[in-house]
Amino acid sequence: MDISRLARQQNDLTVPVNSLSLCMITRDEHQKEKLRWQYKISELEAQLRRSEETNSQLLQQKAEMNKKVKELEKAQKVLLRSNKKYQEKIHAVVAFETKHFEDKLKQAHEDLAMTKQCLEKISAECCRLKQRKMTADKEEELQRLRNLNVQYCKTIAAYKQLVSDKERKVEVLLRVINRTRKNPSFNWQEFDYQSVSDSVFSLSSQSFDTAPEDQSQLSKSQDGKASCRRLEHTGNARKTNEENGIADQAGTFSSNTSQGSAESGWEEERQKLWTLLKEMRDRINVLQPSREKQQIQIEELLEANELLEFRLLELESCPTVPLCQKCSAHTNDFSSNAPDDYFVPLDTEPLILSDEDLLARFSLMCHKHFLNDDDRFMCSSLLARSGTWKENAQTSAKKISNMERKLVELDAQMECSEITIDTKVQECRALKRTVDELRAQEKELRSQMKDIEDFSKLLTFKLKDTVGKYNYGMNLVSELQKKLNVKERNERILHEKLKWFEIAQQVKGIEAATIVGGTSVEGCKGKMVALLKTVGSENYKLREQLNEACCFNKQLEYQIELRNETICKLKCQLEDEKSPPPFETQHCSQCTQKEFQSLTMSESTENM
């Protein structure tokens, strides 16, 4: 548009010259034209002054804007440097914290592995200690059983000695009685059968002058009974203590169940052990009454066996020949009035009788003076049954001892498991403390990261503000440059008009000279043609300069577009909150420096 306007104005200025060259004008017209041109010249001078003033103002504004742009560039560079520094610091802090947490995690894994190894070692050591304790308990039990075996052997030998002594004394008595029977001078009326029976056949008397031996046997039996009672008392006390311990341990177990999932495995094992203990105790409680019954039966059978032995000895020593009527009149019948028909005969009974029937028959046999075949058969069956009862008692005692041993082993296992559980609970608490400390440190680091993010957001907001201000300044600079370009074009047009005006004045001077000097018209035409040629050449040069200015303007527009693209890229990077690499930011700053250098060079050339 400016180029077309200049061409139009040049055509307007060239028209009167051509008209002057073609035809001559009168003096009045010349004066009018002169006045008109003088008026135009004055207006152009006024416009020139105004344009110079505006040009000076625009130059000042341009200088101020250049200063502001430079200040903004400096501020932008400082902000970019600070942004880079903060980004580097953020990356360094994040890397340091990640390394720190990774090291802590590795250390925690190592501690876990160490604790697992320690647990395995502790479990192996517990197994060894259990085995040692079990072997020690077994050795003690074996020694105790050996001592009991020795005591039983001693008691059996003593009983055998007693029986042999009693048999010997019975033989002596039988010899004496046979001699007295053979002696006819023996007075049977003076013979007191009651005293003999009381002395020899009574169950309460200590027969055959065996008082110290019987007393020793009685003391041994009393000691055995006292030891049995003592064992029963200790067993009951242990049972009550274990029940109390079970209740206490159950309470502690119920209070410790809320300590976490790390103790679940140990609690399950502990529960299994408790269930085993309860089952064993239930079995012991179930077997205890049967044991007491068997002990009572054994005691009764032992007493019955002793009575039978004494009764057998007395009956064997008793005479089989019936007494005469005189003797029978003086003696009393000590046999029981109950006949043998009270029981079913052995031929009709089964061979195996119950224990109650045997005891009832034995109680009746104790009141008889003579034993028949059935009674002897009953005695032999009682002896056989007593052996089986002894064996049953021994087996039950062994079972009870085994149960007690198992109880002791379970108590030891429970103690070991409680110790290991306590150690594991302490380790879990220590691990929980370390986890809490790590969580607190993590919270602190997160708060620091939040502060850093807020600070980076503030920096990005400031950068956005500065970029907006920079864009606003660049827009102002572009607008001012456009205005300057328009004013420069106006100045050029005015300069061209002034040149045409000077040419017109020269033409007028030539015309006046021709009029005054009386020169020929052809000389004037030649001078006018030369002037027109010079004006055309100058016009051609001006057009070339205009073309160059248009090319330079296009270059400036291209540079402005590049600058706008770089600014848009920076905006996108700031919006994405991604820190640009250092070489890219340096490239952008170099581009902006080159653009500003090119702009300053173009401005200096234009001013020149």
Q: Residues 346, 390: one domain? A: yes
Q: Give the pLDDT band (50/70/90) at residue 334.
A: very low
Are 522 and 406 found together in one domain? no
Q: Per the domain annotation, does 34 fall within a domain? A: no
Q: How far apart are CA 390 and CA 300, in angstroms?
A: 12
Do the beta carbons of residue 382 and residue 358 sit within 8 Å? yes
* The pLDDT value given to residue 353: 58
| 183-192 LR contacts (CB < 8 Å, sep 24+) | 188/323, 188/324, 188/326, 188/327, 189/326, 189/327, 189/330
Find the angle CA(420)-CA(423)-CA(424) to the nearest 5 degrees.
85
Residue 462 has pLDDT above 60, yes or no: yes
Is the model more confident about 117 or about 592? Answer: 117
Query: Domain range holding 203?
Result: 106-183+197-251+263-442
Domain boundary among 383, 417, 442: 442
175 in a domain, yes or no?
yes
Q: Are residues 479 and 535 in the same domain?
A: yes
pLDDT for the residue numbered 25: 63
Estimate to the nearest angstrom the gap between the alpha carbon of 136 and the chain centroid.
Answer: 42
Instruction: Single out the residue in 408, 442, 476 at which a domain terminates.
Output: 442
Percent of the chain clearing pLDDT 90 (strictly above): 0
Residue 325 lies in a domain: yes
Query: Do 63 and 205 fall within a single domain?
Result: no
Which pLDDT score is estimated for 40?
80
User: Would 258 be classed as within a structural domain?
Assistant: no
Do 129 and 85 fall within a single domain?
no
How many of the other CB atoms lie within 10 Å of CB of 542?
16
pLDDT over threshold 50, residue 212: no
Q: Choose from 73-77, 270-274, 374-378, 475-479 the range with maximum mean pLDDT.
A: 73-77
pTM beyond 0.85: the answer is no
Whether residue 24 lies inside any domain: the answer is: no
18 in a domain, yes or no?
Answer: no
Distances (CA, A) of 147 to 140, 142, 144, 152, 153: 11, 9, 5, 9, 10
Say yes or no: 463 and 325 in one domain. no
Name the band, by pLDDT with cuts 50, 70 and 90, for residue 498. confident
The residue out of 442, 476, 505 marking a domain boundary is: 442
Asked if residue 191 is part of any domain, the answer here is no
Instruction: Name the pLDDT band for 524 (thresholds 50, 70, 90).
Output: low
Q: What is the mean pLDDT of residues 339-357?
A: 46
pLDDT at 514: 63
> Which token pair is 243?
């029940």
Same domain, 355 and 499: no
Give residue 520's pLDDT. Answer: 55
pLDDT tens digits for range 321-332: 343 333 333 334
**513 and 378 fall within a common domain:** no
Q: How many domains does the chain have?
A: 2
Q: Is residue 234 part of a domain?
A: yes
One domain for residues 340 and 428: yes
359 and 243 both lie in a single domain: yes
Cβ atoms 445, 97 nearer than 8 A: yes
Residue 233, pLDDT score: 57
- Of the pLDDT bands very low, low, confident and very high (cuts 50, 70, 90), residue 175 is confident
- Quick one: 549 and 578 in the same domain? yes
- Residues 238, 387 within the same domain: yes
